[in-house]
């Protein structure tokens, strides 16, 4: 587990770019945090780091968006599970035009909904000050779960 303090949206994007260097096809990243915590900003950095096509924006209303790789890397599948109640069945119903094992999947609001996809996942929790605040500081906790992440060096994320 690695804890990182983020002081600006640009630092959150940079963290996404650093996380992207650790990812490979078949990886699942679960993002959680309050509204406005920076989940989409982190995912935007992931997309930049993975070199995918298209602006990464919140898929709240489309639920899932696929960003193909501009090179030979995996596509990024960005899912907003906020409005999904049924979990995996609903995920499969999205009929994503990609093979999940060949993609990097990032799920916002996915706790309790998509863990069945794989035991191996990167859990990213973004904490921010709550209430009426302009505080940009975020505490990000990154935890690797399962065999895939057992030997991963998450300290590179704090660099």
Q: What one-character-per-residue DSSP string does 126-141 give?
A: EEE--SS-----EEEE
Residue 23: CA count within 13 A, CB half-sphere: 34
pLDDT of residue 91: 65
Considering only CA atoms, which of 96, 103, 123 is closest in space to residue 25? 103
pTM reported for the whole predicted model:
0.88
Residue 134: CA count within 13 A, CB half-sphere: 0
pLDDT of residue 50: 96
Q: How confident is the model at residue 75 (pLDDT cuts 50, 70, 90)?
A: very high
As a whole number, the mean pLDDT across the chain is 87
Helix then strand count (H, E) for the chain reads 4, 7
Give the tokens for residue 27.
Answer: 């990886």
Q: How confident is the model at residue 10 (pLDDT cuts 50, 70, 90)?
A: very high
**Element (H or E) spanning 106, and its range?**
strand 104-108
pLDDT of residue 90: 67
With a CB cutoff of 8 Å and minimum separation 6, the contacts of 87 are: 112, 113, 114, 116
pLDDT of residue 93: 67
Give the tokens for residue 34.
Answer: 């309050």
Q: What sign has the CA pseudo-torsion 121, 29, 24, 87?
A: positive
Contact 158, 19 (CB under 8 A): no
Highest mean pLDDT, choosing among 36-40, 91-95, 122-126: 122-126
Task: Reply yes or no on whether the pLDDT at 97 is more than 60.
Answer: no
Q: How confident is the model at residue 144 (pLDDT cuts 50, 70, 90)?
A: very high
């Amino acid at each position: 587990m690695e804890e990182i303090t983020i002081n600006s949206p640009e630092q959150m994007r940079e963290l996404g770019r650093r996380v992207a260097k650790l990812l490979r096809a078949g990886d699942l990243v679960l993002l959680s945090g309050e509204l406005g915590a920076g989940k989409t900003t982190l995912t935007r950095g992931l997309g930049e780091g993975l070199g995918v096509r298209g602006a990464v924006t919140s898929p709240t209303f489309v639920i899932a968006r696929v960003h193909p790789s501009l090179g030979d890397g995996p596509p990024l599948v960005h899912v907003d599970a906020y409005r999904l109640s049924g979990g995996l069945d609903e995920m499969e119903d999205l009929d994503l035009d990609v093979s999940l094992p060949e993609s990097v999947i990032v799920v916002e609001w996915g706790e309790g909904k998509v863990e069945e996809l794989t035991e191996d996942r990167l859990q990213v929790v973004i904490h921010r000050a709550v209430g009426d605040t302009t505080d940009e500081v975020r505490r990000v906790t990154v935890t690797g779960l399962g065999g895939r992440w057992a030997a991963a060096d998450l300290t590179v994320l704090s660099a």
